[in-house]
Homo-oligomer: A and B are copies of this chain.
Amino acid sequence: MQVIQSRRELQALADGERAQGLRIALVPTMGALHRGHLSLVAEARKRADRVWVSIFVNPTQFNEKSDYEGYPRDLDDDLEQCREAGVDLVFAPTPDQLYPEHAQTWVEVTELAEPLCGATRPGHFRGVTTVVSKLLMCAKPHVAVFGEKDFQQLAVIRKMAADLCMDVEIVGGAIVREDDGLALSSRNVHLGPQARREAASLSRALDAAQHAVAGGERDTDALLGAVRREIEAQPLAEVDYAELRDPETLAASPSRLIGPAVLALAVFFSPDPDASGARVRLIDNRVLPVGRRNR
């Protein structure tokens, strides 16, 4: 497995692979790899001859400095996991490789990046689309794979790639969960034992909503009310948002669902009662397969 730090070197390698007619898949990550990332690597493997993983904790997408500084980092462990997963190449650039001196260029998606996490985390998606653009310019992949846990991120990146005529296929990989339903996230390690138990309420709420919709419930207030009650019953939890939106446009769903909707959640968890530290913000989502009325 090659480990590359230089963007120029990576671009030369990409040109070489492409000239041989080999397909490259890129899995962009911020490291702290877990089984969720490895499932994206497996998804990438299905679609390409070469699977490349990038590991870069991107400063411009954090809207709180403490979140950036506290973000878990363990490059040796990440590289070991990549090796075991059969990754061909890891791109682990230093910040100056992606942000040259006086960097002042931004790639920004507007409407899709406004609601949900865009409203709570100003500038977050601008940082994401900017760094993903750079990573795509460096690795020149045919395919790039992103996790569906970050549902809005995936929608924003798809739109960016289409709008900017990027010659890359953007693929989503299914959410991977713990036994109790908690979606895997690098931030889960920051949860205290009590918060960790309470965090399973997100997927329970999603399951319940899916069940309710399968049983015929279409009222968005009723659905979202039940979701909030499930989560707010947890002493450490505070709902950041719980919303139903169109899975493609992210437009707010009508008061009665008439088509598929994504139920998107973001929840803050306070430190355990005997602990200190920052709150942990978790996200999760489920696309609710609501058929249109007259089908």
Contact = CB atoms under 8 A, between A and B. Distances in A.
A105 interface: yes
A218 interface: no
A111 B105 CA distance: 9
Interface in A1-37: 7, 11, 15, 18-19, 21
* Interface residue range, chain A: 35 or more
Interface string A184-199: 0000000000000000
A161 to B, nearest CB: 9
Nearest to A98: B165
Interface string A98-109: 111011111111
A63 interface: no
B21 A163 contact: no
Contacts of A106: 107-108, 110
A108 B129 CA distance: 12
A28 to B, nearest CB: 13
Contact of A164 (B21, B105, B163): B105
A138 interface: yes
Chain B CB within 10 Å, residue with most, of A15, A105, A107, A109: A105
Interface in A146-203: 159-160, 162-167
B105 A108 contact: yes
Contacts of A133: 164
Contact of A104 (B97, B109, B140): B109
A107 to B, nearest CB: 5
A222 interface: no
A98 B249 CA distance: 20
A15 B103 CA distance: 29
Given A15-B18, A18-B19, A105-B129, A137 B165 contact: yes
Interface string A71-100: 000000000000000000000000001111
A106 B133 CA distance: 12
Interface string A105-119: 111111110000000
Interface of A: 7, 11, 15, 18-19, 21, 97-100, 102-112, 129-130, 133-134, 137-138, 140, 159-160, 162-167, 249
Q: Which 4 A-B pairs have the closest CB atoms?
A: A105-B163, A137-B165, A104-B110, A134-B165
